[in-house]
Structure 1
Amino acid sequence: MPIDARVTGANSAHAAMIGVSDFDGVLRGKHVLGEDLSDGDKVIKFSEAVLAWDCSDRVIPASFTQKRLSAFGDADLRILSGTGRSVSYVGDQYLYLAEFTGTHENICPRGILRKVLRRAADHGYGCAAGFEFEFMLFKENADTIEDKPFGEWAPLTRGPFGYSIARSVAHHELFGEILALCEKARIPLSGLHFETGPGVIEASLRHCDALEAADRAIIFKSIIKAWAQTRGMIATFMAKVSETLPGQSGHIHISMSSNGQNAFYDSEASDNVSKLMRQFIGGQLKYMNDFCVLAAPNFNSYKRLGPGCWAPICPRWGVDNRSSAVRVIPGEPSAHRLEYRLAGADLNPYLALACAIGSGILGVETDAALPASIVGDASEEMYLPSGRLPQSLSEATYRFAQSPAANDVFGARFVEAFSCSRRWEWEAVQHRVTDFERRRYFEII
């Protein structure tokens, strides 16, 4: 991809940042001073500890390195010159993405997605994708959310009012800043609107090459959080902020191409669903339970996957059916695609997309059968013998760790390392006693 002309010059040479994804999809990085990062990919040394930290910077005891906790060294990090872009609304602050290389490449989230995309390319297919994110804005800061209970936090808007034109007009300045920020960062949007729920906004990132789509997604989440702080707000991409509110999704739109044509499209087939698309969806459904933890990576993720939350419960598909885990969106060749609805907004873009495409490619390789599509509410099938999606991070992690298919697609070393990180995450939250438990049990039980 051509480098934006604005990336060259003194800013990129003397005050650029680099960012690399950890397992949680958080960009970790630093300023690199005195170098022109736009002049070809460079390999530098960077702490390998970011692949052994949890989201609160605690070192996972049984980490991938098999070293003592204090013995983390440096790893090779490739700075990707073509990813440089402005990430600040005011002024010029540039960010370049990076990825671990060498011995750490097979556990690097971006490296895992590249591995899956190579597998698709080996079959002659290119992949395009686009992410949709729902996020909540609160008129709070790091201090006030620490000092006040959640019920007293003030959202940007009160109550549900999805697709509200009135609110969009009232907050046109805010929307204008988001659009300008994304334009400056070369993250074009195809839609921006208020979603149902207090302070909830949905942004649809325009589709593009799959690896670039994941790059845009991880930068989008980071710059929205940073921008919100400059406005005296906090943005959250949690999958489920409150039990009384819908969850926040991170849907992924995917299409496959071959020889410049949409390989999912067949004008002679029912709903234009080609044989390849049937195999691809068949694989997504067949391996959804095994790979689920890649798209739902947190303890909180599974609180979104429940009835009445506009989120899937069972590995089912449907044509233009928003209750299903995979939604086929039929249309002309330029628009015909599927929507992978399993992931929440808390996803790691690289790993969630690797999950969605990797399972699909497995379906193509094995000619996976596709069950009948769901008409109506897919959650009604939650009690069938075929079962529902994993009910917890613990269950999903166990299935992933034991899956031969996961080892095949993602590699045994990554499966072991990521499973270790998710078991740690489960333990970090599972044994905490919450205020809800105290209110429910303290006097009565």
Structure 2
Amino acid sequence: MTPQQIAEYIQQNDVQKIRFAFADIDGVLRGKIIHRKKFLEGLEAGYGFCDVVFGWDIHDAPYDNVRLTGWHSGYPDTPTRIDLGTFRRIPWEDDLPFFLADFSRPDGPDLPACPRSLLKRIAAQCRDMGYHAEFAQEFEWFNFRETPQTLHEKGFRNPEPLTPGMFGYSILRPSLESAFHQDLFDLMAGFDIPLEGLHTETGPGVYEAALFHDEVVRAADKAVLFKTGVKEIAYRHGLVATFMAKWNADLPGCSGHIHQSLWDPENTRNLFYAPDRPNRMSELFEHYVAGQLHCLPQILPMFAPTINSYKRLVEGAWAPTTVTWAIGNRTTALRVLNDSEAHTRVEHRVAGSDSNPYLALAASLASGLYGIRNRLPLTIPPTEGNGYADLRNGRLPANLWEATQVMKTSELAADLFGTGFVEHFTATREWEWRQYARAVSDWELKRYFELV
């Protein structure tokens, strides 16, 4: 919609307030509700937002190790752009108008820390190379019969799951909470995030949803809004949803798999599909997969950004640990699906449900394009059988600190995303590790309190 069309909609529908939001470095949506007057004025003059949102962590503690902003800069306002193309209404908020924003600039460099701006830049590179990128993310998450207050009161220990037992793909379990289950499907559709599928996964109170594929930036927008939307809908049913990668050591982790393919500019022909070639993979597809495998160990924090992410990336937990690919194999980092042109794609299985969709999709696309630009050959043969045992191309870094140090010193990462982003992002991941290193865990208390 054009600014004039938006203004006419607001006037004709007597809209008094508008919500807008953007994703911070952790993928958390930050934003506000503003009056129609401020919104309409900003369509011409722009908006400002305090850049502390990129100067503090997921719990609003200011970083002491970043240069982008801080006490040294005084946390000034930074120009923010509302993307009118993201207009939608929030069904569970009386159809409140909503827009996504970012910190891209039409007449200068983008804010290096802005995840959406980074993805837009990578998507533009893809278009300049003559490709249309179709992406989709799918998520697993756990639901609990709790509120934020009860979780804090019990110290986040022993939350009550929505339903008991291991009921993957169950028809019975969703019927216990039919109103919540139906609201997820219907309200998301009303929020312009239609779900391709929604079902229970194996575990108490765990669901999985697959989003329809879309152009890569729109796909990331939908993924970010889906995660927050699930949490808001859950609140309205007296529930709390978590997208932690691994909330319980004895239960499966939660993935955020990324499905991706490249099409011709008109989006009519899948450029990955070649029925007469081995594995029905085009040469372009092979370069793309080779690029992803080559880059993956050097940009892992963009797929696994938290301490907890690496509790999921362990053997036998339906998450990869090795730099591998295969046809239809769920134990490898990359899984190729190629039964027809319409469905041919690569599924990136490393990304967890806790990933920032903008960064995870940017990392996926940029690494694939790297393989295409450099015509990297797919020299790694597809894994046969157990991907955990296939060590021909090495293992992934085992924790956030190790992965961050690799990315911090990677010339490839700086080439793909710019030194400004890499410097800021890896500093925030080092901060995250420092907070973890200071904490005394329940495991330490149980193991050492009495006996040492």
Cα distance in structure 2, aligned partners of 1:295 and 1:328: 18
Cα distance in structure 1, aligned partners of 2:270 and 2:43: 32
Q: Structure 2: which 5+ runs fail to align?
A: none
> How far does residue 429 in structure 1 lie from its aligned partner after superposition?
1.2
> How far does residue 40 in structure 1 lie from its aligned partner after superposition?
9.7
Aligned match for 2:48, one of 21, 36, 45 = 45
Paired residues of 1:89 and 1:180 also in contact (CA < 8 A): no
Cα distance in structure 1, aligned partners of 2:176 and 2:375: 51
Q: Deviations over 1:69-122 (max 9, x none)?
A: 571000000001111212242522222100013454333101111111122122
Q: Structure 1: which 5+ runs fail to align?
A: none
1:302 corresponds to which residue?
310
Q: Trace 1:339-418 onto structure 2 (pairs within 5 A).
A: 339-370=347-378, 371-381=380-390, 384=391, 386-418=393-425
Q: Deviations over 1:409-428 (max 9, x none)?
A: 10010110111111101111
1:441 corresponds to which residue?
448
> How far does residue 8 in structure 1 lie from its aligned partner after superposition?
3.1
Q: Does 1:277 align with 2:285?
A: yes
Paired residues of 2:7 and 2:40 also in contact (CA < 8 A): no
Cα distance in structure 2, aligned partners of 1:158 and 1:220: 25
DSSP-derived class of the 1:80 partner: strand
Q: Trace 1:41-440 onto structure 2 (pairs within 5 A).
A: 43-65=46-68, 67-68=70-71, 71-89=74-92, 91-102=94-105, 103-148=109-154, 150=156, 152-259=158-265, 260-370=268-378, 371-381=380-390, 384=391, 386-440=393-447
Give the TM-score normalised by the residue count of structure 1: 0.95
Cα distance in structure 1, aligned partners of 2:257 and 2:433: 24
1:16 corresponds to which residue?
18
Worse-matched range after superposition: 179-188 or 166-175: 166-175
Paired residues of 1:7 and 1:94 also in contact (CA < 8 A): no
Give the TM-score normalised by the residue count of structure 2: 0.93
Q: Aligned in 2, Cα 1:408/1:126: closer, same or farther, shift over 3 Å?
A: same
Name the % identity.
37
Q: Aligned in 2, Cα 1:20/1:124: closer, same or farther, shift over 3 Å?
A: same
Q: Give the letter for the 1:303 counterpart.
A: K
DSSP-derived class of the 2:300 partner: helix
Q: Aligned in 2, Cα 1:12/1:375: closer, same or farther, shift over 3 Å?
A: farther
Worse-matched range after superposition: 35-44 or 394-403: 35-44
Paired residues of 2:55 and 2:70 also in contact (CA < 8 A): no
> How far does residue 324 in structure 1 lie from its aligned partner after superposition?
0.7
RMSD over aligned CA atoms reads: 2.2
Q: Give the letter for the 1:354 counterpart.
A: A
Cα distance in structure 1, aligned partners of 2:383 and 2:171: 33
Cα distance in structure 2, aligned partners of 1:348 and 1:199: 23
Cα distance in structure 1, aligned partners of 2:38 and 2:345: 39
Q: Give the letter for the 1:49 counterpart.
A: V
> How far does residue 309 in structure 1 lie from its aligned partner after superposition?
0.9
Q: How many residues align structurally?
A: 443
Cα distance in structure 1, aligned partners of 2:58 and 2:451: 35
Paired residues of 1:37 and 1:79 also in contact (CA < 8 A): no
> How far does residue 7 in structure 1 lie from its aligned partner after superposition?
10
Cα distance in structure 1, aligned partners of 2:83 and 2:401: 35
Q: Aligned in 2, Cα 1:130/1:66: closer, same or farther, shift over 3 Å?
A: closer
Paired residues of 1:296 and 1:342 also in contact (CA < 8 A): yes
Paired residues of 1:38 and 1:82 also in contact (CA < 8 A): no
2:27 corresponds to which residue?
25
Worse-matched range after superposition: 37-46 or 355-364: 37-46
> How far does residue 331 in structure 1 lie from its aligned partner after superposition?
2.0
